[in-house]
Amino acid sequence: MIAFWGGLILAGLAMLAREVYAEDRSQARSMVISKYGIVATEHPFASQAGAMILAQGGHAVDAAVAANAVMGLVAPMSNGIGGDLFAMVYEAKSGSLYGLNASGWAPAGLSIDRLKSKGISSMPQRGIHSVTVPGAMDGWDKLLGRFGRMKFKEVLAPAIRYAEEGFPVTEWVSETWLASEPVLQEDANASRIYLPQGRAPRVGEIFRNPDLARSYRQIAEQGRDAFYKGEIAQRIVAFSERQGGTLTAQDLAEFSSEWVEPISTSYRGWMIYELPPNGQGIAALEMLNLMENFPIPEFGHNSTQALHVLIESKKLAYADLIRYVADPRFSKVPVAEILSKDYARQRARQIDMAKANPQVESGKPLQIGDDTIYLCVVDREGNMVSLIQSNYMSFGSGLVADGTGFALQNRGGLFSFDPGHPNALMGRKRPLHTIIPAFMTRDNLRIAFGIMGGWNQAQAHAQFVSNIVDHHMNIQAALEAARFTKMTFEGSDVQMEARIPAQVRADLEAKGHQILLRGDFSSQMGGGQAVLRDFATGINYGASDPRKDGEAIPEPLLERQVRN
């Protein structure tokens, strides 16, 4: 029996799971509960590193950067300083929510015409022409500069130590690393670093990355300029030139991430926040607006009717996503119109409860990528961070600049090759992004959450919110609950985890849904993390998805360390 938050949802008071029949619950893991901070990531070492930073007096942002740096080492296929970053920060003292878009732009010299002149007829998904300026490092700098209490030297110390001493590779990471061997073998630098014995590391084998430790040390000493103007930048530019790319020193030096205002919608008494385009968060909000037109709580969790509404809402929201979302500095994105409740009511009429719609209006589907990490932090004061970071596809472009120790992302692969599309490739333009952090509030409750996985993310966010709001699950149960995902933009295909009842699946197939059955906890559904702060009690809660290797780890009790 899944744990409920009866009093929490109805009154925003104490957060208690049902005691009756608790021993028979289907929730596999309890929440982490503490009056001190909690860090939830996809790897225990990253969570531990962040928790130790909190114990030393660090802000939630300090812990998030420390954890992210470790994640870039221990899950290099999914994230790293060669990728992009988006984050939300909740400041407890002011009650304000801040958004950061640290996604990089295309090189100034890269264009559709330039690629066509080389005989390229579609947007490259790997290689140097898929590389955009990495934004994560500048994102770290912006976060620490505005909220942090520590310097790069302190927050990068755990990652540097792990990179130099090595760490044993975990289960999920080993599996995805193995699948990436063909990509890594195509680049000498990538192969040398990530295939140290001519193959991907196996579970429990020690992996070291002294090149990444060296890059981290330069950042610890020189800050962001080490990456965008210093030796690291020089190595990236020289490598790009050798590969026939267009990336220049100016593309790196002139890049800056930007603070943005989160966008939001209400859902049955809760406020749900996402970041604005160029990310896909708007699709999660539109899905929720569509779902609000149906009695989801009455339908029941993962019932035939509820799943049918969610799947059909996904199709409609994603049709708008692929048609309109682009870099708002280059194209007008009708955010207010898409998030209008009237618009949702109008679109919801297109959902036929009797059958699946195989063809909704959409743009041209883009390539799917699913290699991303998500982490979240809450500190003892109630400051919270929701952060997502990615290379896009596994090991990004598949390229590693000499001596840097990290893969360069392939986010450029998400540009459209159609010159008339809002998301068309253009110099200094940011592509449509799949990675999205999220946040939700009601009364005294604040939840930072995210679920990674390419185009899975917005639909997974909507399912998580529905689990919390419609079905009164706690954050751990909401992450664990069986999910569906539809990675395509057309057709009636949909993937579902095997825990969804067979009769429900049969009833959905009778409506025309074409179900691809996945395992009980499938990585195709992404992996998520969540932290919750109840400001009425001052208690923090953490949750970690079993679809990943991670954990939610509480801040340990240590003697306060004096920082230099």
Q: Report the catalytic residues.
A: 372
Burial class (CB in 10 A: 0-12, 13-18, 19+), 40: buried
List CB contacts of 543: < 8 A, sequence separation 6 or more.
29, 31, 32, 40, 474, 475, 476, 478, 479, 529, 530, 531, 532, 552
Coil vs helix vs strand at 186: coil
Helix (H) or strand (E) holding 324: helix 304-324
Burial class (CB in 10 A: 0-12, 13-18, 19+), 503: exposed
Alpha carbon distance 1, 302 (integer Å):
14
Alpha carbon distance 222, 236 (integer Å):
17
Do residues 259 and 142 touch, judged by C-beta distance below 8 A?
A: yes
Alpha carbon distance 521, 302 (integer Å):
15
Q: Which residues pair with 373 in a beta bridge?
A: 389
Do residues 278 and 257 touch, judged by C-beta distance below 8 A?
A: no
Radius of gyration of the chain (CA): 22
Structure tokens at 206: 């020690």
Structure tokens at 247: 């990336």
CA distances from 205 to 159, 169, 246 (A): 18, 6, 38
Do residues 37 and 64 touch, judged by C-beta distance below 8 A?
A: no
| Short-list 156, 161, 171, CA closest to 208 | 161
Q: Which residues pair with 533 in a beta bridge?
A: 446, 540
Do residues 558 and 71 touch, judged by C-beta distance below 8 A?
A: no
DSSP 129: G
Alpha carbon distance 365, 534 (integer Å):
41
3-state percent helix, strand, coil for the chain, nearest multiple of 5: 35, 20, 45
Do residues 270 and 465 touch, judged by C-beta distance below 8 A?
A: yes
Q: What are phi and psi of 517, to 5 degrees?
A: -80, 130
Alpha carbon distance 320, 286 (integer Å):
9
| Short-list 140, 105, 155, CA closest to 425 | 105
